């Protein structure tokens, strides 16, 4: 989510309306009245297969092949500049998986499946989901590029972190757009998303049995002034990626915020700089964004 500049007045959050919505949403989730987003069956099977030392590219290809859309995207990725460093283009799924590697396939299939869920038209949620898809794709692409630049964070993990950082928006939108007093109030929906998506996102990723470092991304990526010892972590990468998207006029929108975000120092990016001037970062950003686009 885009942070608000500190000199702009905002309604205090949480307030009674947000608190009431939060409690109702959590109660709905606990009682299965709102079903949390679930990972597609193909993702679960691939995660299991990759963990099996006896699995090979043939077995994983058979699983991926059950989802034609994902299969086509995997071949496209294998032929992209990111992975085709040498050799001829491939059109065979097994060869594509062998080129990318079994471990990366698990992450890439997860990425593509989550984005596919965000980019599926769904009545009144369509416009909201399209905005969410665009934003998460851009943060994922920039997270990958920043991770490549630092050399200290796995780029594919950073890409996944960017994709899931706002995943809590899905159940919030599902309930908000089904609640008559709220569904026509765009300002209220934005307030609910801003206030609640980190907590609900962590809840979703826990239900998916995601690793703690990704759950932390969902929970803490809006905590702009967090500090910690050591080098950058995935939360730092996502915070900086979100604030440095090429189409954001960050100096005009958030001058006081950026000067105090220590994640910039850990990632190695100047808050006064402009990543559009870094050809290497922008090349990776553009390549990944193209891969993630439908």
CA angle, corner 200, sides to 195 and 206, nearest 5?
150
Which domains does the chain show, CATH number per domain?
Answer: 16-292 (1.10.3210.10)
For residue 81, the tally of other CB atoms under 10 A from its CB is: 12
Q: Which band of pLDDT confidence, cut at 50, 70 and 90, is reported for residue 247?
A: low
pLDDT at 85: 66
Rounded distance between C-alpha atoms, residue 213 and residue 236, angstroms: 11
Give, for 219, the enclosing helix (H) or strand (E): helix 212-220
Residue 236 has pLDDT above 70, yes or no: yes
Quick check: 189 and 239 in contact, CB under 8 A?
no
What 3-state class would DSSP assign to 93? helix
pLDDT at 253: 47
Q: Which band of pLDDT confidence, cut at 50, 70 and 90, is reported for residue 57?
A: confident
Rounded distance between C-alpha atoms, residue 287 and residue 238, angstroms: 18
pLDDT at 7: 38
Residue 14 has pLDDT above 50, yes or no: no
Of the candidates 276, 263, 221, which has an alpha carbon nearest to the alpha carbon of residue 3? 221
Residue 81 has pLDDT above 50, yes or no: yes
Residue 251 has pLDDT above 50, yes or no: no
Digit-coded pLDDT (tens) for 82-133: 887 666 888 899 989 888 888 788 888 888 888 887 776 667 788 888 899 9
Rounded distance between C-alpha atoms, residue 189 and residue 203, angstroms: 19
In the chain, % of residues over pLDDT 70: 89
């Amino acid at each position: 989510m885009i942070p608000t500049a500190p000199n702009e007045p905002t309604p205090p959050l949480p307030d009674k309306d947000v608190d009431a919505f939060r409690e109702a949403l959590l109660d709905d989730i606990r009682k299965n009245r709102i079903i949390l987003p679930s990972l597609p069956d193909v993702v679960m099977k691939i995660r299991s297969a990759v963990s099996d030392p006896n699995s090979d590219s043939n077995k994983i290809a058979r699983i991926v092949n059950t989802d034609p859309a994902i299969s086509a995207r995997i071949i496209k990725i294998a032929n992209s500049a990111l992975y085709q460093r040498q050799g001829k283009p491939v059109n065979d799924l097994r060869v594509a998986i062998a080129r990318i590697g079994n471990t990366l396939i698990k992450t890439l299939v997860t990425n593509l499946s989550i984005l596919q869920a965000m980019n599926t038209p769904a009545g009144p949620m369509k416009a909201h989901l399209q905005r969410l898809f665009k934003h998460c794709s851009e943060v994922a692409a920039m997270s990958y590029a920043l991770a490549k630049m630092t050399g200290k964070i796995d780029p594919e993990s950073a890409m996944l972190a960017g994709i899931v950082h706002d995943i809590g928006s899905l159940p919030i939108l599902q309930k908000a757009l089904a609640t008559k007093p709220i569904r026509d109030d765009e300002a209220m929906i934005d307030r609910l998303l801003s206030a609640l998506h980190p907590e609900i996102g962590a809840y979703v990723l826990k239900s998916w049995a995601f690793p703690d470092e990704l759950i932390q991304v969902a929970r803490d990526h809006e905590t702009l002034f967090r500090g910690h010892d050591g080098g950058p972590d995935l939360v730092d990468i996502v915070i900086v990626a979100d604030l440095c998207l090429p189409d954001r006029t960050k100096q005009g929108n958030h001058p006081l915020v950026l000067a105090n975000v220590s994640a910039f120092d850990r990632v190695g990016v100047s808050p006064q700089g402009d990543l559009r001037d870094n050809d290497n970062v922008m090349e990776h950003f553009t390549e990944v964004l193209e891969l993630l686009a439908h």
